[in-house]
Structure 1
Amino acid sequence: MKGMMKAAVFKGIEHMEIESLEIPSCPDGGLLVKVAVCGICGGDIRNYRSGLRNGKTDQIMGHEIAGEVVEVSEGVSRFAAGDRVALAPDVSCGECYYCRRGLVNLCDDHRMLGTHFSGGFAQYIAIPKIVLERGFVEHIPDDMSYDHAAFAEPVSGVAACQEYNRISYGDTVVVIGDGPIGCLHMEVAKARGAFRTVMLARGRMEQARKFGFEHLICNKDPKEAAEKVKALIGPGADVVICAVPNAAAQQQALELVKKRGRVVIYGGLPGSSPMTTLDSNKIHYNEIMVLGAFSYSSTGLEDALRTIEEGKISTGKYLSAKVSLEEIVGGIQMVTRGEALKVLVDPWA
């Protein structure tokens, strides 16, 4: 397909420009997709503020993508022009120690759409053969909108995290963070049968309230919040999930978890400041497990689309606003100020 397209191009820290670029060619063994919507992820915001890996610039970011296949390379049989597809960012090598054991999210040569490959903040995205073979491209169910399909990527990670941590009946779960990921953790924990779920919220209390969470505690004063949590759940939580990229939340989690409980770090800190301080005596004497959780298995996106299709996630409650490419920085600011949970970018607006 020949012609020009618009794209929001990351030029450097807190510097995004709208450019007119040639529509990419359909790669050998790959696809060309017309982007319908692309969600603004917390990772996109972190990269916008702190920079991409290795100082990379002149990149199209965005990885929560839904769109329509417009061209298919010869030899590709799984997709056809006109198919509606959802995409997720991870691309594994398929050959390293972890890939050979099915742990594709831990790939030693892990790459991502929007970081190593051009992403979805553009009108079109080329999907190379390696992405088609080692990444995440799935058909969207017939009755699902593009907006809801684009939200499947964050659902994938949250669902995988809770599966890995085996959250189930009888568990008391505390979630620190009231963004879309925090709300998802609350919904998924409840769907998995958690006995009690508690959210510590700060900047988006009103957005979180619309989900009807049973226990929603203001976290502006962490000491006061901890006292309220302990009064509610006694000895502490079975699992505390840090759903914000914040070192202070990781420290706070140790105060909220019970002996032999688990603290789950879900949300990376900025690369320029990745270190945290945890009370190792508390971890040692209380036999607390501190775990990281990142990404999802090879069926993660497919499973998430099915979960949304079955109505287990209140998808519409997350989608706060839609902006054009020209308004993308404003969309980032909306999320940062706590005025929205999830903002979608419509590259055709």
Structure 2
Amino acid sequence: MRAAILREYGEPLAVRDVPAPEPGPAEVVIRVEACGVCRSDWHAWMGHGEWADDRVPRGQVLGHEPAGEVVAVGRSVDRFAPGDRVVVPFSLGDGTCPYCRRGAGNVCADGRALGFEPDAPGAFAERVAVPNADYNLVERPPWLDATAAAALGCRYMTAYHALAERAGLGGGDRLAVHGCGGVGLSAVQLGDALGARVVAVDVDDDALSLARDLGADALVNPTELGDATDVPERVRALTDGGADVSVDALGIAETCRNSVRSVRPRGTHVQVGLTTEAERGEVSLPTDWMTRWEVSFLGSRGMPPTSYGDLFALVEATDVDPGALVSDEIGLSAVSGRLAALGEYEVHGVEVITEFEG
């Protein structure tokens, strides 16, 4: 099968033939119909994460947002059969630990991250194996096509977990989203669907225009203010004293601190974006100010597979459309160029691989 493999950090991926996976006893093999290209893939491609002992090794097949069809199942798999249409979470739990049993498989003590670890080869490939499939694999609703499911597979589910499950965002709340890439735009659309009033923040007018189309009530472009540190003041003015929930969907120090400063007393900041080489996993924060106003700082990573039913129900019941974020469908050979474009902030929306054989 064809797969895109990380050879050297920051260098083009090697697209070549590799052996197709065979299912272990508890595994399922998926024919990948679509796989999103995400900023987390860019972090892996750049070799980021060594400061957190989380650097993706050379030789890894990247890709963590697949949707497709089951083609083979292991002998102990009960819930799936060949022909089933599925979406694959990137946070893969073992299904047995206390976190998995409590519905938090995304922080499983023995979990794996699809496309980021040698024992979980990714989905920039024609086939991908899913471990502990009865727990991790998710049946795809009939109304959700593979391309839209790939867009939903990381960006939307990460945003949903951050907003609905970690921060408890609800109707009438005020939400600020700092960074309108894929996960940020997903947060805008989901925040609107959850009944919040949304302020979108980005330095790119095209990204802000898309945010408005997806439900943002107000827009902030830091380049139009006197100083980037004026962003929290502007957000507080637009939200009558500060956001109930503010999300850093990018991960640089500036957006993190601006997001924290944007919340009202007893408000909540949610950190979704991962840091870059400049921050190396550490960002200084106004801790005395956070203590004075009882501001909560939450981390959020992916989404447990057990939450997909709730996300599907929200998407089906509202005008949320993951497919609306898909800006381009590409072939496997184009992935390296699109990863480079992510590093230059040249990608708007979500790009999805839908051609794997060429």
Partner of 2:115: 114
- Kindly report structure 1 stretches of 4+ aligned residues shifted beyond 6 Å: none
Q: For residue 290 of structure 1, what is the aligned residue in structure 2?
A: 297
Distance 1:326 1:206, change over 3 A: same
Q: For 2:77, what is the secondary structure of its paired residue?
A: coil
Match of residue 37, structure 2, among 28, 40, 60: 40
Indicate the residue corresponding to 1:151 in structure 2: 151
Name the % identity. 26
State yes or no: 1:10 paired with 2:6. yes
**Counterpart secondary structure, 1:339:** coil
Cα separation, partners in 2 of 1:239 and 1:19, compared to 1, 3 Å = same
Q: CA deviation at 1:294?
A: 1.9
**Does 1:232 find its partner at 2:238?**
yes
1:88–1:301 CA contact under 8 A, matched in 2:
no
Contact 1:8 1:122 in 2 (8 A): yes
CA shift digits 1:164-190 (9 cap, x unpaired): 211112311111111121112122222
Corresponding residue number in structure 2 for 1:187? 189
Cα deviation for residue 327 of structure 1 reads 0.5
SS at match of 2:14: strand
Alignment-mate amino acid for residue 262 of structure 2 = L
Which residue of structure 2 aligns with residue 207 of structure 1? Answer: 210
Superposed displacement of residue 243, structure 1: 1.2
**Contact kept? 2:235, 2:262, Cα under 8 Å:** yes
Alignment partners' CA distance in 1, 2:3 and 2:14: 8
Structure-2 change in CA distance of 1:339 and 1:127 (3 Å): closer
> 1:105 and 2:111 equivalent?
no
Residues 324 and 235 (structure 1 numbering): CA distance in 2 closer, same or farther, change over 3 Å?
A: same
Contact 2:176 2:243 in 1 (8 A): yes
Residue aligning to 1:338: 346
CA positional deviation for 1:95: 4.5
User: If each structure's strand is expressed as a fraction of its own residues, which one has the higher value?
Assistant: 1
Instruction: Output one character per residue of 1:1-37: Cα deviation in whole Å (capped at 9) or x when no partner.
Output: xxxx110001231131111112222333322211111
2:19 corresponds to 1:22: yes
SS at match of 1:251: helix
Partners of 2:232 and 2:259 within 8 A in 1: no
For 1:60-75, list aligned pairs within 5 A.
60-75=61-76
Residues 1:94 and 1:124: Cα distance change in structure 2 (over 3 Å):
closer
Any unmatched runs of 5+ in structure 2? Answer: none
Q: Is contact 2:28–2:74 with CA below 8 Å preserved after alignment? A: yes
TM-score, normalised on structure 2? 0.87
Give 3-state SS (helix, strand or coil) of 1:19's partner: strand
CA contact (8 A) 1:86 1:138 kept: yes
Aligned to 1:276: 283
Taking structure 1 as the reference length, what is the TM-score of the superposition? 0.89
Distance 1:134 1:87 in 2: 11
In 2 relative to 1, CA 227–326 (structure 1 residues): closer, same or farther, beyond 3 Å?
same
Select which of 119, 123, 127 maps to 1:124.
Answer: 127
- Answer with 95-104 or 289-298: which moved more: 95-104
**Letter paired with 1:103:** A
- Structure 2 CA distance, aligned partners of 1:83 and 1:158? 26
Q: Distance in 1 between matches of 2:56 and 2:64?
A: 19
